[in-house]
Amino acid sequence: MTVLKIARIISLLLFFILLFYATFPLVSLIPVDIFLRLDPLIFAVTLSGSRTVIPLLLPAVIILLLTLVLGRFFCSAICPLGTTIDIADRMIPQGNPEHDPGKKRARTHLVRVKYLLLIFLLAAAASGISLILVFSPMALATRLYGTLIMPVFFLVAGGALDLIRPLTWEFDITTLAYASIDVPRFALTWVTVLVTGAILGCALIAPRFWCRYLCPAGAIFAVFSRRPLIRRTVSEGCTRCGLCQELCPMDAIGEDPRDTVYSECSGCRVCAGVCPERVISFPLRGRTGKKAAQEFSAGRRGLLAAAGAGISAGLIARTDLGYRTGTDEPGEVHHPALIRPPGAIPENEFLLRCVRCGICMKACPTNTLQPTWFEAGLAGMMSPVIRPRRGPCEPPCAVCGHVCPTGAIRTLNPEEKICAKVGTAYILRHKCLAWEFDQPCLICEEVCPYGAIELRTVDGIPVTVPFVDEKKCTGCGYCEYYCPVQAGSAVVVEPMDEIRLSLGSYCETARERGFIFDEKDGLVRLPEDGHRDTKIPESDGGLPPGFTE
């Protein structure tokens, strides 16, 4: 096994481990979003859109500097999507048309597509819309494994645990006997399946088709690796057998086997491994036997067309009904289901920074963060929203901000997290058991962490009924999640009075607006280890809330 293969395996395992540990409470010594921070496409698009250098993404600059020396090493040794594509390539049936010289020459012109896509994405971001969700290899890999593969794995593991549970009782293995595995569920998984399935399915056309022709991050690496210090070298003993040309996964070898298109070479060493004469090496400051193979240019017209298309996409997005103008004037349409995570910066800036990687959704311990469809228009597709009916937002948890690689969700301490109001709950009286059906129910009042719901007596109703104090409500969704009414809760959270800040203190802003967010008596905040104290508070001898003499 070569050093490169070992590095690839270690990199993929580290990616899996960090993704697994992306949850509350965070215990990883390495930032769980480090792979996302290494993606130069995320750095470039967020820089173009926000006009701000995001310090969290500076590791991508280090990768680009290393690319000047090592070439496109990231593509062959680090990128988890590239490794996944390699696995798919090995599974394709024999006899694919990759070795057909005519078709191979026809595909050569596709190399420029990734450059055009890069310009399109940068121009679109500069004009107001980020379309990186289907083009960033790191975001795609994170969403694939975090919101699709891992839930399936947990489902299978849970089924296996159920199968062996009788044996655990037989052999008195109580740890497994009482163990359970929660399976997260996510909306729009079919989008992830279609996008990644199409990328992996391109292996039927050519090995690493995505990496060769479509990956905009690969285009950035290609620009920085036109003359790497470590490069492919072919000595005079070459017999021009063409085996390296046929098996090169990146199609980076010219018509003469001694020539190399350095911008396309990932340094995978496949050519060196298959060379029967052992004349191929990758020394420092290597030189080819002849001049380097001709680089491909996207062409001035193509680049201008791509830039124009990107600008047009941004302008069209700004005419969408869901686009936020940043004012509260009449005519602004805010979708009632668009409840952003606590700490999410103002909407338009949020959408420009969010890369739809899904790591915040994977990390959410209650599975309340879900991808949205068109509630925020095309610009907001696959961005995270809170679905209170799926799960509440835990008061002590701010893991979504801690794992966000771009700062679209701010990192908050526990005090600031509580003040980051995401919405306000209100009662649907026509569905409420107490209001409409005269049935005693106090669940929403009992579960509210902030005492924002109180029960009162109302003339004509034999039981106490709930009222929401909007000055105390943070929109956490406990009431909606636990409401026993089926087919839609009788208490609903909407993003009314949400607090969205790019800078500044949430608590100071909340106080200025007259909000009072205090956890009610008897509720114990979760400590940093994530375990709640189970001690029952002492009773004052009175009746529970909602009961009358």
pLDDT at 295: 61
Which helix (H) or strand (E) segment holds residue 166: the answer is: helix 150-170
95-133 pLDDT, tens per residue? 444 455 555 555 667 889 999 999 999 999 999 899 998
User: Which range is least confidently modeled, 105-119, 209-223, 256-270, 362-376?
Assistant: 105-119
Q: Report the first-to-last Cα separation within the chain, whole angstroms.
A: 78
322, 333 Cβ separation under 8 angstroms: yes
- Name residue 126's amino acid: A
- Evaluated on CA atoms 118, 119, 125, 128, the torsion sign reads negative
Statement: residue 437 has pLDDT above 50: yes
Pair of tokens at residue 309: 């298309």
Distance between CA 155 and CA 433 in Å, rounded? 35
On the 0-12 / 13-18 / 19+ scale of CB atoms within 10 A, 238 is: middle
Distance between CA 103 and CA 105 in Å, rounded? 5
247-284 pLDDT, tens per residue? 999 999 988 899 999 999 999 999 999 999 999 999 98
Distance between CA 37 and CA 90 in Å, rounded? 29
pTM of the model: 0.88
- Evaluated on CA atoms 212, 215, 216, 220, the torsion sign reads negative
295-337 pLDDT, tens per residue? 666 678 899 999 999 999 999 988 888 777 666 677 777 889 9
Packing angle of the helix pair 300-317, 112-126 (nearest 10 deg): 40
Statement: residue 12 has pLDDT above 60: yes
On the 0-12 / 13-18 / 19+ scale of CB atoms within 10 A, 535 is: exposed
Helix (H, G, I), strand (E, B) or coil at 91: helix
pLDDT at 96: 46
pLDDT over 70, % of the chain: 88
Chain position carrying tokens 């285009």: 219
Distance between CA 455 and CA 545 in Å, rounded? 7
Rounded to 5°, angle at Cα 294 from 293 and 295: 115
Statement: residue 342 has pLDDT above 90: yes
Which domains are present in the chain? 29-226 (no CATH), 234-294 (3.30.70.20), 347-512 (3.30.70.20)
- What one-character-per-residue DSSP string does 171-214 give? TT-HHHHT--------TTHHHHHHHHHHHHHGGGTSTTHIIIII
Q: What is the mean pLDDT of the chain?
A: 88
* C-alpha neighbours within 13 Å on the C-beta side of residue 241: 15
Statement: residue 430 has pLDDT above 80: yes
Statement: residue 76 has pLDDT above 80: yes
18, 37 Cβ separation under 8 angstroms: no
pLDDT at 540: 62
Pair of tokens at residue 450: 């902030």
36, 138 Cβ separation under 8 angstroms: yes
pLDDT at 53: 92
471-498 pLDDT, tens per residue? 999 999 999 999 999 889 999 999 999 9
Q: Can you tell me the mean pLDDT for 4-8?
A: 90
pLDDT at 531: 46
pLDDT at 537: 53
Which helix (H) or strand (E) segment holds residue 465: the answer is: strand 465-468
Distance between CA 318 and CA 347 in Å, rounded? 13
- Kindly indicate the confidence band of residue 86, based on its pLDDT and cuts at 50, 70 and 90: very high
Distance between CA 402 and CA 411 in Å, rounded? 5
pLDDT at 292: 59
Q: Find the length of the chain.
A: 549
Q: Can you tell me the mean pLDDT for 440-450?
A: 95
Name beta bridge partners: 491.
427
Distance between CA 339 and CA 337 in Å, rounded? 6
pLDDT at 150: 96
Select from 178, 267, 279 the least CA-distant residue to 228.
Answer: 267
145-179 pLDDT, tens per residue? 999 999 999 999 999 999 998 888 888 888 888 88
508-534 pLDDT, tens per residue? 999 999 999 887 654 444 444 444 444
